[in-house]
Structure formats: structure tokens, C-alpha cells
A = this chain, B = another copy of it.
């Protein structure tokens, strides 16, 4: 995702208004690698701007996604996650606390057995497991980070 300033630029060009809500969300998403859900973003946003609506969060996230500024990641834990990291990477999901981490890929997976029958436009790889805070040996209670 581009920086808040660059996003502001882009929005203006498309005659989209630079509202306080959008500016706040731009800031919250910038370099955010926590893969927040709309709901969790909403909670954080609400602290800085009480009264902001969940609807607006969804709306803004949707716009940014459409503009190719962030990707929607569905890791199968209910709510979709939003990821400003548009580089080619995959995800690890802690099945205990729900945390989502980036997994860099060494080499692009190659299609095998498809023999040219399909047209692949996107490959999503999701690793499910337990993060370091949640491996059984670690007794501490799972950090319920970014769960909802």
C-alpha cells in the first residue's frame, strides 16, 4: 500500500474526498502487518475517532482493495483480513490465537498436472498451525491478538 500522503493524492485525483475517516484509516493501515479484520480495525479506529462507523471501515477497505492498495486475505477463520502488503507472499495462521503472519515464498509454486487446462490468476497458500506464543510447550495463555 502506498503511504497515507500518496493515497491522499490518489483519492483526490479520482475526486474522492479526503475525509477524516479515510485519513485515519490510511494511517492505521500503513505498514500494518497484523492482517486486521474490518472489526478489529474498527475497534482501533474508534479509539482515535469515537463515532466512526463499522460501515465506513468496510467501505474504505473495499475502496482501497478495488484500487489495488490492499488485498483481502481469507484464511478461513471467519472474517476476512486486510493486508496492505501487496508483495507476493503467503500466510501463516495460528489456530490458537488467530494471528496471521507473512510467509515469504522462496520460489513461485509451479502448476503441475494442470497441463494448460486452467488459467491461474492467483495462488493462495495458507499455513495453519501454532505461533510461538501458542505452541503447547509455552504455558502462557495465547495472546488473543487480532482474533476477531
Contacts and interface: CB of A to CB of B under 8 A. Distances in A.
Interface stretch (A5-13, A15-23, A44-52, A126-134): A126-134
Interface in A114-140: 114, 117-132, 135
Interface residues of A, number: 32
A129 B121 CA distance: 5
Interface in A89-134: 92, 94-95, 101, 103-106, 109, 111-114, 117-132
Contacts of A76: 74, 76, 124
26 contacts: A76-B76, A92-B114, A92-B118, A92-B120, A95-B121, A103-B111, A103-B113, A109-B109, A109-B125, A118-B127, A118-B129, A118-B130, A118-B131, A118-B132, A119-B129, A119-B130, A119-B135, A120-B127, A120-B128, A121-B129, A121-B130, A123-B128, A124-B126, A124-B128, A125-B125, A126-B126
Specify how many copies of this chain sit in the oligomer.
2
Which of A94, A126, A127 has the most chain B CB within a 10 Å cutoff? A127
Interface in A46-105: 74, 76, 92, 94-95, 101, 103-105
Contacts of A109: 109, 125
Contacts of A123: 125-128
Contacts of A74: 74, 76
Contacts of A135: 119
A101 B128 CA distance: 21
